Amino acid sequence: MLKLLKMADLDLKGKRVLIREDFNVPLKDGKVTSDARIIAALPSIRLALEKGARLMLMSHLGRPTEGHFEAKDSLKPIVDELKLHFDVPVRLVANYLDGVDIGENEIVVFENVRCNKGEKANNDSLAQKMAALCDIYVNDAFGTAHRAQASTHGVAKYAKTACAGPLLVNELEALTRALNHPRKPLVAIVGGSKVSTKLTVLETLSDKVDQLIVGGGIANTFMLATGLQIGKSLVEKDLVDAAKKLLQKVTQNGAEIPLPIDVVTGKAFSESTPAETKAAMQVLDDDMIFDIGPKTAEKFAKIIAKAGTIIWNGPVGVFEFEPFSKGTETVSRAIADSNAFSIAGGGDTLAAVDKYAIKNKISYISTGGGAFLEFVEGKTLPAVEILEQKAQI
């Protein structure tokens, strides 16, 4: 399906192999707080070691100032995690652009690639230096595939051989399967605070889905578009027309955007604000909607139970606050219980997956946030495109 050279098909014995990872993980007090991206990268790293590669890994972490390395930018917490998973030495190297000596049976990790001047601008000479470090460049960083930067794009252009790692291949195959060949009905759940950040995703999905469940602040904008009162809830008034158009289009396609029939409200954005469950038609002027109500959650759960394919991005309420977590919990459990091919992606979504411990019940969990959304939007991911171009040479 994909016209990419794959790392799994290449002979790596004794070769200098440079893998671009997405180790951009959340940290607190110098420790990794969610290791999902690291765990997802392990099989590819193991495979490269088994194939006898002289292995180098590189990644960005956060958005540091280029040319200015600070302790907080270091990949040391990630190296500490990696050490827990490998018997071979894992070595963090700060100055690598002029070459690194490396043997088999060790892992060298380069310091934060975004501390290099020219990384974000996809600078040619930086990319050439990276390419010169290896015989084979592997991109396994799906989460960063929407960025055209020196370590994701330029390096692939100049590398002798550039290929896709197993994680990247899995991500692309799972997403393609869900979007292009879905078992019907296709149900998408798009939550989160703003329509604006997800408008293109909603538009793309509106042509494919049978049911488009919107949640969070996004649902408020749609409720307003149908004439419901939403009080002081988070909303984007300038996108009400866009929401109306989407509602029309989806209906014309014979599909549906089911809106909340009941909601849970509070008077202030706080965990301790008294929570009230009420009909969607009874929202007061000083109410803020923070979750879908139990009837709506049940209605959504029934839709999810009948799905053949589920694409999930974003919670349906402020699930970090206990009184407003039930909607997201019910939806999460419905996705977990369904027999559909289910895909989940995005930071908040993965936090919900963790909170309700349903990781093993989702068919595919994407490591991508922005990249996941851009793929669903139908955009070309530059880091994938360059690999396709290289495969044709």
Write out the catalytic residue numbers: 37, 194, 347, 370
State in angstroms the smallest separation of the CB of 305 from ligand 3PG: 31
Identity of the residue, 140 or 374, whose beta carbon is nearer to Mg ion in the bound complex: 374
Q: How far is the CB of 181 from ligand 3PG (least distance, A)?
A: 27
Residues facing residue 55 across a β-bridge: 17, 107
Q: Give the residue with the Cβ less far from ligand 3PG, 24 or 170.
A: 24
Determine the Cα–Cα distance for residues 180 and 205; give it in Å rounded to an integer: 11
Query: Phi and psi dihedrals of 326, rounded to 5?
Result: -65, -40
Asked whether 126 and 117 are in contact (CB, 8 A), the reply is yes
Q: Which does 192 bind (CB under 5 to 8 A by kind): Mg ion, ligand 3PG, none?
A: none
In the complex, least distance from residue 372 CB atom to ligand 3PG, rounded to whole angstroms = 9
Which of 26, 43, 52, 370 binds Mg ion (CB under 5 A)? It is: 370
Number of residues that bind Mg ion (CB under 5 A): 1
- Nearest residue (beta carbon) to Mg ion: 370
Tokens of 367: 């490591």
- Minimum distance of Mg ion from residue 370's CB (angstroms): 4
390 contacts: CB under 8 Å, gap ≥ 6: 5, 156, 157, 159, 161, 162
* Tally of CB atoms within 10 A around 259: 19
Peptide bond into 185 cis (omega under 30): yes
Residues 293-312 that bind Mg ion (CB under 5 A): none
* Residues with Cβ within 8 Å of residue 266, at least 6 apart in sequence: 273, 274, 275, 276, 287, 288, 290, 323, 324
The entry of ligand 3PG, Mg ion, none that residue 338 binds, CB within 5 to 8 Å by partner kind: none
User: Interface residues with ligand 3PG (CB under 6 A)?
Assistant: 22, 24, 63, 143-144, 147, 369-370
The listed partner (ligand 3PG, Mg ion, none) that binds 21, CB under 5 to 8 Å by sort, is none
Work out what residue 216 binds among ligand 3PG, Mg ion, none; the CB cut-off runs from 5 to 8 Å by kind: none
Tokens of 312: 């999930």
Backbone φ and ψ for 310, nearest 5 degrees, come out as -130, 130
In the bound state with ligand 3PG, the residue whose beta carbon lies nearer, of 22 and 73, is: 22
Smaller CB distance to ligand 3PG: residue 192 or 293? 192
CA distance 24 to 59: 7
Q: Which residue, 114 or 208, has its beta carbon nearer to Mg ion?
A: 114
* Two tokens, residue 381: 């991911």
Q: Give contact residues for Mg ion (rule: CB under 5 A).
A: 370
